[in-house]
Amino acid sequence: MNPIDLHVHVLGNGLAGSGCRVQRVWWQEPFVQMMARGVGVDVGPADPRLDEVYARRLGSWLDESSLGGVVLLACDYVHQDDGVSRPDLSRIYVPNEYVLELCRREQRFLPGISIHPARKNALDLLEAGVEAGAVLLKLLPCVQIVDPALARYRPFWKRMAELRLPLLAHTGGEFSLPTYRPDLCNPDCLRAVLEQGVTVIAAHCGAPALPWHRDFSGDFLDLRNAFPNLYGDISALSQWVHFKTLTRVRENPQRILYGSDYPVATSVFCSRAFRWISSHEAERLWKTRNPLQRKLELTRLLGFPDTIFSGVYDVLRQTPALAKIRSGEDVLSG
């Protein structure tokens, strides 16, 4: 079976018309450069070719991997509760139109749209996104200022449930983007969405991003016990700070789904240091240059059950593009 990676970021500077935006911050430059090297993007951040090079590189990693497809994530602007858009507070912006365009070009790219529910036309955008083939909707409540409990958002969640569009919501600490509402790092804030019947995937299972962040993985597991429609993803989880979260979800892998958080780097060293993998396995992973494949192989070595991959097929919104990937898989295995 060919797994789908449900957490892959699209990035761009928009200088060639993609509509993407990125605000650069001086202290993050070394990390950005490290990440660019890790995914093999060799043009500078202010180069108009960046968006195209990034998308093509991702496509070639996918070609050379054993994945069946990846979900590409859009990223909406930060909005105030009253619907006022705040581009000034948004460090990155990736429009749905650009993600949809990339997915039309490459069949194994599946669109993950992003719509802030405070937008005046949020419901219309939701219908249009689903019509265009979205397989999920991505939000970062603590970053984009989305308080799921606000009563005015209820029709939006309700419509997502009716459309069977799952929500991929960032939970836990955040490193790359500013956190405006630290109280919304706790997965517990997703209760209001779950109560409307939406399938929710708590990205990172509430893990911390920095050593002084709180670990919310216990809160995540409690919430998962209470709501059969709550899932988690293991995207980004591979560093020292993730030890507690990873230990917990490996022991309780029910409804845990596969995702990488590309272009975020996957550490092999920590899994070896925790003695979760042998030195022989670590060596093999170190030699795996393809970041998509490295995360995939590490996940298998960590002993997660097959449901981490098969579950993705069940949870994503069923679209013709997803069916195509699934049937390709049948042809291969048959």
**Where does this chain bind Zn ion (CB under 5 A)?**
261
- In the bound state with Zn ion, the residue whose beta carbon lies nearer, of 168 and 282, is 168
Handedness of CA 69, 148, 232, 179 (dihedral sign): positive
Helix and strand element counts for the chain (H, E): 14, 10
Q: How far is it, in rounded angstroms, from Cα 178 to Cα 85?
A: 16
Radius of gyration of the chain from Cα atoms? 19
Cβ 320 to Zn ion, closest distance in Å?
A: 26
Comparison of 196 and 263: residue with beta carbon closer to Zn ion: 263
Q: What are phi and psi of 210, to 5 degrees?
A: -135, 155
215 or 261, CB closer to Zn ion? 261
Residue 162 CB, shortest distance to Zn ion, in Å, is 26
Please, what is the Cα angle at 75 between 51 and 292, to 5 degrees?
60
CB of 278 to Zn ion, least distance (A): 29
- Using alpha carbons only, give the angle 160, 170, 201 rounded to the nearest 5 degrees: 50
Q: Which is nearer to Zn ion, 51 or 261 (CB)?
A: 261
Residue 139 Cβ vs Zn ion, minimum distance, rounded to whole Å:
11
Q: Name the residue with tokens 């679209």.
A: 319
Helix/strand/coil (H, E, C) string of 81-139?
Answer: CCCCECHHHCCEEECHHHHHHHHHHCCCEEEEECCCCCCCCHHHHHHHHHHCCCCEEEE
E strands in the chain: 4-9, 21-22, 69-73, 92-93, 109-113, 136-139, 167-170, 200-203, 230-233, 256-257
Choice between 9 and 79, CB closer to Zn ion? 9
Residue nearest to Zn ion as judged by C-beta position: 261
Please, what is the minimum distance in Å from the beta carbon of residue 203 to Zn ion?
6
Least distance (Å) between residue 10 CB and Zn ion: 11
Shorter beta-carbon distance to Zn ion: residue 114 or 290 = 114
Contact 6, 68 (CB under 8 A): no
If the CB atoms of residues 159 and 232 are measured against Zn ion, the closer one turns out to be 232
Min. distance of Cβ 84 from Zn ion in angstroms? 25
